[in-house]
Structure 1
Amino acid sequence: MKKKVLITGGNKGIGFETAKQLLAKDYYVYIGCRNKAKAADAIEELNKLGYADVEAIDLDVTDENAIMKVANEITELDVLINNAGIPGDFPQNASDTSQETLRKVFDTNFFGLIQLTQTFIPALKKSAAPIIVNVSSDLGSLGNHTNPEWEHYEVKPLAYCASKTALNAFTVMLAYEFKDTNFKINSVNPGYTKTDFNNNQGPKSVEDAAELIVQYAVLDENGSTGKFFSDNGESPW
């Protein structure tokens, strides 16, 4: 039986490429997307590439009813990739970022992600090797932000960075809770990638970014858990 994976925000960019690479590894892929029409377009594109084991899921991670509806439809799951995220409005200076921007970013990148993950824990527990990949960012690393030698030291958008730092904390706490089980739970930083998310400014390709996420989505029983990974290995929290 094929392993099943749910990818939030899987209709474009890194999420879409992750879906493609996991389909190539013979996974059954659910693509979660807020816009069902866009999800359908993604499915059509994947079908044209010869991939049939893929399904569009109408999913807004900030909508509790939508999350519950999907959880009632997908009762068994092997891998959850929390890829959906938003940058928020800019600029985001620490001294004056609005409460509206902070709450909007955290609703998607943190609160919605946690609610979705908690809701799917029962489905993941049915897997022999359940995996959760939280797609984070090196901008969520406090170790990086306090290191003047870091290449992105001067990039500090408050809402986005703080939401990813909080996400990393969730990874640590959840991995600890399941440390004596077969769960593998990690944060993964795909890197500064050329996507719509950053107006196509990133130097990294979606293929390379997705490859890193896939690496931690297919861990075996000896794989790490409770860690934060980037291209160069383990990253500072």
Structure 2
Amino acid sequence: MNNKIALVTGANKGIGFQIAQQLGDRGYTVLIGSRDLARGEAAVKELVAGGIEAAAIQLDVTEESSVRAAAAQIGERHGRLDVLVNNAAIIADGDTAVSEIDADVLRRGYETNVIGLISVTQAMLPLLRKAERARIVNLSTELSSLTAVGNPAHRASTVKMAGYNSSKIAVNMITVMLANELRGTGILVNAADPGRCATEMGGLDTPRTPAEGAAVAVRLATLGENGHTGELHSEAGRLPW
């Protein structure tokens, strides 16, 4: 079989780019899903210069036509998909406490983080089913852990982003439900918490690097035949829901 094919959404920068790079270093052909194709092509140029086989795919997870076109393009060029990493996500401007958040802010976050993730996953599933042992990784966060947020002594309990945090709880549920749906098919589905890293979303003054944050998603994307499914993991191991 040729190189395994991995699609990473939102991969032209930050953690998504690092996930693509680390998978490429492991011999995967990486497809850089990017809303702005020019930015995706710039990322591909950097990866190819490092000896990685990569290609850019125009992919706006909130546009159904873009998602369908991306799936058709991958099917035509590669015939299958071995790994899907749903990395694309936003913290919508104005995201704040439950008592204050505007409904439109909630909608914007859910449109990308939840509906977009489901849309991409549905479109790519036929290609994933054609792989020998496919893997789906959904980027989540410890801020979605009810156990952590429910503990007043935990840092997560102080983060007032009702839209982002609750959208990632939805991602966790989607992860578990899809894992159950796909049991026995050879497709494993897990969620990854990269932790807070030095990105536009995490804050550029954060000491932890995007490469460090990417490592857990890469580990889940490359799980062996008897790997776990339907779980949330950080670099330290499994996290409680």
- The offset of 1:40, in angstroms, is 1.3
Residues 1:68 and 2:68 are matched in the alignment: yes
Tell me which stretches of 4 or more aligned residues in structure 1 moved more than 4 Å: none
Residues 52-201 of structure 1: pairs in structure 2 closer than 5 A? 53-75=53-75, 76-201=80-205
SS at match of 2:201: helix
Structure 2: where are the runs of 5+ without partners? none
Partners of 1:147 and 1:218 in 2: how far apart? 32
Partners of 2:173 and 2:30 in 1: how far apart? 27
- The offset of 1:80, in angstroms, is 0.1
Q: Which moved more, 1:178-187 or 1:200-209?
A: 200-209
Residue in structure 1 matched with residue 51 of structure 2 by the alignment? 50
- The offset of 1:203, in angstroms, is 2.9
C-alpha contact 1:139 1:161 (8 A) present in aligned 2 = yes
Partners of 2:51 and 2:116 in 1: how far apart? 33
C-alpha contact 2:139 2:191 (8 A) present in aligned 1 = yes
- 1:48-91 per-residue CA deviation (whole Å, 9 max, x = no partner) reads 2222x100000000000000001111121000000000011135
SS at match of 1:163: helix
SS at match of 2:155: coil
User: Which residue of 203, 206, 215 maps to 2:210?
Assistant: 206
Partners of 1:27 and 1:106 in 2: how far apart? 30
- 1:165-224 per-residue CA deviation (whole Å, 9 max, x = no partner) reads 000000010001112221110011000111111331333111111111111010111111
Residues 1:36 and 2:37 are matched in the alignment: yes
C-alpha contact 2:215 2:235 (8 A) present in aligned 1 = no
Q: Which moved more, 1:120-129 or 1:91-100?
A: 91-100
- The offset of 1:147, in angstroms, is 1.1
- The offset of 1:152, in angstroms, is 2.7
Residue in structure 1 matched with residue 24 of structure 2 by the alignment? 23
Residue identity opposite 1:122 in structure 2: P
Structure 1: where are the runs of 5+ without partners? none
Partners of 1:156 and 1:176 in 2: how far apart? 31
Residue identity opposite 2:164 in structure 1: Y
Partners of 2:206 and 2:142 in 1: how far apart? 13
TM normalised by structure 2 equals 0.95
SS at match of 1:80: strand
TM normalised by structure 1 equals 0.97
- The offset of 1:38, in angstroms, is 0.8
C-alpha contact 1:81 1:132 (8 A) present in aligned 2 = yes
Partners of 2:95 and 2:184 in 1: how far apart? 43
C-alpha contact 1:135 1:187 (8 A) present in aligned 2 = yes
